[in-house]
């Protein structure tokens, strides 16, 4: 045998047109600066090649139509992750981008068109000839913005929203769409239980019927050959095994074929089901089954109807007797199982001899008669390849050590000849057998050392085959199933090359000689029907043939009403689609009525018009009882669904006072935009609490027990939407407040946005501190939304007094504030107040808004009522008058007591023993105060309605993130 050693670097990419005899570097064709990542060969025209550039360097594609002799480079506006070629049209290509978009090209990648966004990886498929009407149709799984997946189809040049089609009306589970041959499969999970649906030959979807108490948690489609589905289903009580089910022709009804087939995980985390279909012979499968915690290999010759343990060879290579043979179907082990369509009956497998499957004591075994009998050919791990239509076998030892030799057999592994394929030992990384079943060329690639470059070795076996095979070089053999000559209803006789004949099989070689039907027997049927693809005739065929009968009528039973997406929430003004399902009953003779719960109902004479769902638009929000009623002449059934119809929620604003009194209840509310009633749930967090208070009301009362800055968070749940707002509130034992107004020129420059109000509040505060030298942490300024511009000034207690304060009921006659070790009279409190008011009344508090614009800050004559009042906002002037009358006696007494004029000021305090709030007001006003009437100001309720965001930073209360005054639309509610 001749060998040809090639020492070429593989990293830049190599090209050979003479089966590896010579190579040329791809960079010589595409440019030295081009970094390549993937190479694709068109499966329908192998002269056409696509090269993808490295996405980290650039986004481009290189196209060749002459087997890589020349390339044209095209820049792309997206980065390709994978390509999918059309099975018939050589110029049609789908490209999946790194940002999960699907593009199409009809000129082999020269021009691209965006088809759809948010495509699930590997869940897009070309049309299937003979099933889909249009050759350019694409099946794809698309995710919506809310995270749900849908099955859509469209043509590659007509994929606008109006031209897309949704063959399945409901949402589906992510990564569940499978389009394979005549079948389309999807999965839908509701209530934690998965249901599977199938479409046969593009008909309407039907739910897959597994045995009644089969509760699958995972399903894999193994095969859809010959109009039958093999599915591996993992039941609720299985972990590392699956049950094998086979279906009827339509893929709807499944029956159990084998339990507890072993499964494992691949290198990428994918599930591997240890089931193997033998090529070249219909109906023959090998499976590894877990029995009493041991894994054993079984074989079937009638497509899963009957299984038996694999027959072990009589002796191993050492001549020792063998009792059990186990084979490995893990593709990540070295040998696994291999067979060829062109070499029927020849099966090579990696396995071991023993009571159970092992991955340590591995050998290689071969069967020449379709799995009936086996022989051991190696007692170590070897890789085996088929050459010349399976007429020759090539083996190479699987080892981490370097090798120089390989073995060739012309008698199905009975004898092996050793050949050297390289002069130096080679660390083998892999081997490729050239495409084409009559190929005699193999390429081995690897390294001479761990640091050397990649080496390619071409091994050409043509010199071994001295001539073409003639009739005298063949012999026949019969396929048997434990001595029974009929397999899948046929008697088959095959031919193969005689052992030792070193001749080459011709291009017209065929392994099958005779095929004739057998008389039908019991083992040719399942479920009282003939096994799919079984070709038996006569005999018991008539006995098991299904006979048409008139089904007796049934009353409706098992009626269900669900939404297409399985959710119990719908948006007001949008289509809600309902599906009515019935487990039993005559679909064509049962009347259906659906009451939507909003005064509208529809009726149908049978199920035919409603197979795609019943659509309805709710015009108001609320909770609706949807009732389905089915009736025929034998009975009736009813199903009920409670649907939450919500109006889309866009924003929530938390209403809180700027400052609150310790141990006094505070009213807090959430304003939702747009406003709506019903189906809203409110979650409230206060301070450092980790568990929320949950209400259906938009307001809540809460008592703060500690001073300082407290955080309030509210979340509003509306359907599948969840929005949130957070505010801070300053909590003190007492505080004082006063309204402020400004010179009119400020209104002209007021944009009425949150950032501006927060900045102006800080500017006013700094101006007050600068003029009066009042400690910064004792004042707070909050600017209100709207015009005219107004604000509230808060005077907070000093921290040292607050920390040292202790209640003493006997001192109440002297003062509202009681200190720890010395009396604190109101004169101390009013000292700061008087200082501030003197500065304000003398127009000393000013700030420059911009060059040339000076703004003066005034004291407003009318003040807001206590913030701790139970109303939603500041109380009205009527409440102020009432409180003034109640406390006028106390006010006169205190004013007389202290013998001094007190400015117009409100004091809010919480004293020991839960004493009520006390307010002290002056009997006269400053003469210098501007004359401003109540009508000049926005009502307190309106101020808070406009306020959309309030924050307290440290001890400073501000109003932030507010919106301009505008009308809030309402969603009507029932």
**If the chain, 974 residues long, is cut into consecutive pieces of 10 residues, what is the mean pLDDT of each piece?**
31 56 59 71 90 85 88 92 95 96 96 95 95 95 90 92 87 94 93 90 91 89 90 92 93 93 85 90 91 90 90 81 65 64 88 72 89 91 84 88 90 89 86 65 83 78 81 88 86 85 76 82 79 81 74 86 84 89 83 94 84 87 93 93 86 87 92 75 90 91 90 87 88 87 92 87 93 88 90 82 47 39 50 86 91 91 41 38 40 39 43 33 32 33 36 32 37 43
The pLDDT assigned to 243 comes to 96
Neighbouring CB atoms inside 10 A of 120's CB total 18
Specify the domain boundaries for CATH 2.60.40.10 within the chain: 557-639, 651-732
Question: What stretch of H or E contains 338?
Answer: strand 337-339
At residue 310, what are phi and psi to the nearest 5 degrees?
-65, 135
Q: Which residues contact 278 (CB under 8 A, 6 or more apart)?
A: 284, 285, 286, 339, 347, 370, 371
Per-residue pLDDT at 525: 82
pLDDT in tens, 804-841: 454 444 443 333 344 433 334 355 567 788 888 889 98
Q: Is residue 370 a contact partner of residue 364, using CB atoms and an 8 Å limit? A: no
- Each residue's pLDDT tens digit, 311-332: 888 888 877 777 666 666 544 3
Residue with tokens 């001192």: 811
Q: How far apart are CA 468 and CA 489, in angstroms?
A: 35
In the chain, ranges of CATH 3.30.70 domains: 736-799+822-859
What backbone phi and psi angles, to 5 degrees, belong to 861? Answer: -65, -35
Structure tokens at 340: 């060829």
Neighbouring residues of 762: CB distance < 8 A, sequence distance ≥ 6: 781, 956, 958
Assigned token pair, 899 = 């013998």
Residues 6+ apart with CB under 8 A from 406: 394, 395, 396, 418, 419, 421, 459
Closest CA to 208 of 219, 217, 218, 196: 196
101 to each of 56, 78, 142, 349, 464, how far by Cα in Å? 18, 9, 10, 41, 52
pTM (global) more than 0.85: no
Query: Interhelix angle for 754-772 vs 826-841, to 10°?
Result: 110
Q: What is the DSSP letter of 954?
A: T
Supply the CATH classification number for the domain 736-799+822-859: 3.30.70
CB 763 within 8 A of CB 755: no
Distance, CA of 88 to CA of 127 (rounded, Å): 10
Chain-centre distance for alpha carbon 276: 31
Q: What distance in Å separates the CA atoms of residue 457 and residue 419, rounded to the nearest whole number?
A: 14
Sheet of strand 575-584, all strands in order from the earlier edge strand to the far edge: 557-563, 575-584, 614-617
Query: Nearest to residue 593, comparing CAs of 564, 627, 559, 554?
Result: 627
Q: What is the pLDDT of residue 19?
A: 58
pLDDT at position 78 is: 94
CA 275 to chain centre: 29
Phi, psi (degrees; rounded to nearest 5) at 187: -130, 140
The DSSP element (H or E) to which 956 belongs, if any, is: strand 956-959
Give the angle subtended at the CA of 316 by the CAs of 310 and 319, to the nearest 5°.
140
From 554, 963, 620, 951, select the one nearest 782 (Cα to Cα). 951
The dotted CATH code for 557-639 is 2.60.40.10
Residue 696: exposure state from Cβ atoms within 10 A (0-12, 13-18, ≥19): exposed
Predicted local distance difference test score (pLDDT) of residue 13: 56
Compute CA distances 472 → 409, 467, 496, 499, 622, whole Å.
Answer: 20, 13, 11, 12, 86
Task: Output the CATH code of domain 651-732.
Answer: 2.60.40.10
**pLDDT value, residue 332:** 38
Helix axes 826-841, 877-898, angle to 10 degrees: 110
Which residue spans within 448-568 are E strands per DSSP? 455-460, 467-468, 474-478, 486-487, 490-497, 503-504, 512-517, 525-526, 529-530, 557-563
245: helix, coil or strand?
strand
> Which of 441, 509, 514 lies closest to 474 in space, CA to CA?
509
Instruction: Note the Cα 39 to chain centre separation in Å.
Output: 30
Q: Tokens 């992750």 map to which residue? A: 81
């Amino acid at each position: 045998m001749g060998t040809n050693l090639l020492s070429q670097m593989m990293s830049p990419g190599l090209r050979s047109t003479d089966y590896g005899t010579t190579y040329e570097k791809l960079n010589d064709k595409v440019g030295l600066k081009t970094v390549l990542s993937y190479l694709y060969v068109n499966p329908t025209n192998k002269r056409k090649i696509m090269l993808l550039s490295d996405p980290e360097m650039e986004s481009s594609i290189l196209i060749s139509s002459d087997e890589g002799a020349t390339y044209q480079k095209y820049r792309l506006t997206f980065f390709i992750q994978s390509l999918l070629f059309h099975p018939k049209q050589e110029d049609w290509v789908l490209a999946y981008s790194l940002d999960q978009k699907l593009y199409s090209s009809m000129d082999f990648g020269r021009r691209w068109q965006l088809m759809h966004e948010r495509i699930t990886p590997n869940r897009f498929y070309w049309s299937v000839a003979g099933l889909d009407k249009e050759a350019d149709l694409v099946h794809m799984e698309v995710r919506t913005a809310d995270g749900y997946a849908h099955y859509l189809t469209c043509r590659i040049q007509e994929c606008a929203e109006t031209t897309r089609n949704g063959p399945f009306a409901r949402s589906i589970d992510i990564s569940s769409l499978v389009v394979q041959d005549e079948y389309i499969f999807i999965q839908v999970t509701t209530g934690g239980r998965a249901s599977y649906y199938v479409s046969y030959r593009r008909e309407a979807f039907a739910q897959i019927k597994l045995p009644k108490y089969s509760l699958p948690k995972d399903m894999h489609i193994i095969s859809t050959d010959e109009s039958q589905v093999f599915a591996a289903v993992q039941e609720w009580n299985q972990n590392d095994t699956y049950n094998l089910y086979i279906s009827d022709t339509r893929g709807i009804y499944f029956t159990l074929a084998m339990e507890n087939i072993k499964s494992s995980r691949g290198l990428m985390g994918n599930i591997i089901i240890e089931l193997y279909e033998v090529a070249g012979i219909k109906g023959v499968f090998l499976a590894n089954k877990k029995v009493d915690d041991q894994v054993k290999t079984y074989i079937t010759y009638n497509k899963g109807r009957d299984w038996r343990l694999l027959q072990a060879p009589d002796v191993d290579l050492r001549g020792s007797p063998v009792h059990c043979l186990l084979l490995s179907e893990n593709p990540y082990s070295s040998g696994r199982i291999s067979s060829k369509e062109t070499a029927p009956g020849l099966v090579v497998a990696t396995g071991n001899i023993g009571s159970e499957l092992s991955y340590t004591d591995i050998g290689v075994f071969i069967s020449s008669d379709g799995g009936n009998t086996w022989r051991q050919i190696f007692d170590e791990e070897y890789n085996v390849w088929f050459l010349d239509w399976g007429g020759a076998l090539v083996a190479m030892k699987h080892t981490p050590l370097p090798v120089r030799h390989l073995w060739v057999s012309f008698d199905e592994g009975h004898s092996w000849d050793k050949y050297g394929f390289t002069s130096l030992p080679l660390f083998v990384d892999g081997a490729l057998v050239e495409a084409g079943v009559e190929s005699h060329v193999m390429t081995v690639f690897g390294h001479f050392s761990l640091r050397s470059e990649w080496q390619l070795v071409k091994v050409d076996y043509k010199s071994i085959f001295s001539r073409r095979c003639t009739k005298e070089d063949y012999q026949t053999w019969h396929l048997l199933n434990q001595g029974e000559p009929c397999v899948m209803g046929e008697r088959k006789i095959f031919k193969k090359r005689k052992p030792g004949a070193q001749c080459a099989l011709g291009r017209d070689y065929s392994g099958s000689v005779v095929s004739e039907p057998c008389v039908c027997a019991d083992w040719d049927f399942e479920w009282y029907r003939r096994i799919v693809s079984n070709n038996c005739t006569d005999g018991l065929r008539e006995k098991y043939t299904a006979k048409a009968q008139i089904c007796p009528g049934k009353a409706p039973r098992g009626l269900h009403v669900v939404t297409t997406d399985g959710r119990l929430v719908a948006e007001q003004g949008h289509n809600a689609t309902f599906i009515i399902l019935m487990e039993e009953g005559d679909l064509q003779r049962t009347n259906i009525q659906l009451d939507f719960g909003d005064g509208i109902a529809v009726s149908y004479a049978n199920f035919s018009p409603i197979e795609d769902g019943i659509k309805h638009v709710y015009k108001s929000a609320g909770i609706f009882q949807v009732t389905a009623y089915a009736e025929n002449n034998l009975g009736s059934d009813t199903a009920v669904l409670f649907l939450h119809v919500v109006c889309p929620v866009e924003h929530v604003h938390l209403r809180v006072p700027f400052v609150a009194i310790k141990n006094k209840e505070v009213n807090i509310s959430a304003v939702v935009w747009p406003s709506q009633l019903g189906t809203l749930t409110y979650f409230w967090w206060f301070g450092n609490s980790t568990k929320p208070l949950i209400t259906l009301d938009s307001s809540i009362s809460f008592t703060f027990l500690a001073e300082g800055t407290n955080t309030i968070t509210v979340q509003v749940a509306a359907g599948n939407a969840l929005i949130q707002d957070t505010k801070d509130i300053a909590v003190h034992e007492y505080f004082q407040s006063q309204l402020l107004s400004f010179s009119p020129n400020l209104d002209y420059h007021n944009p009425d946005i949150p950032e501006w109000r927060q900045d102006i509040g800080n500017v006013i505060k700094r101006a007050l501190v600068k003029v009066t030298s009042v400690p910064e942490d004792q004042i707070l300024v909050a600017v209100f939304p709207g015009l005219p511009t107004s604000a509230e000034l808060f005077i907070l207690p000093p921290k040292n007094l607050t920390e040292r304060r202790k209640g003493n009921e006997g001192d109440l006659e002297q003062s509202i504030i009681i200190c720890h070790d010395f009396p604190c009279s109101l004169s101390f409190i009013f000292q700061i107040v008087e200082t501030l008011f003197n500065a304000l009344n003398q127009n000393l508090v000013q700030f420059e808004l911009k060059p040339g614009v000076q703004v003066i800050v005034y004291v407003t004559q009318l003040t807001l009522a206590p913030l701790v009042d139970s109303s939603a906002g500041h109380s009205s002037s009527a409440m102020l008058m009432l409180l003034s009358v109640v406390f006028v006696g106390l006010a006169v007494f205190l004013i007389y007591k202290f013998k001094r004029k007190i400015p117009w000021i409100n004091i809010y305090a919480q004293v020991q023993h839960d004493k009520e709030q006390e307010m002290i007001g002056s009997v006269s006003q400053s003469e210098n105060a501007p004359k401003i009437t109540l009508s000049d100001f926005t009502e307190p309720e309106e101020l808070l309605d406009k306020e959309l965001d309030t924050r307290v930073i440290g001890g400073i209360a501000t109003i932030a993130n507010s919106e301009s005054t505008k009308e809030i639309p309402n969603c009507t509610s029932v």
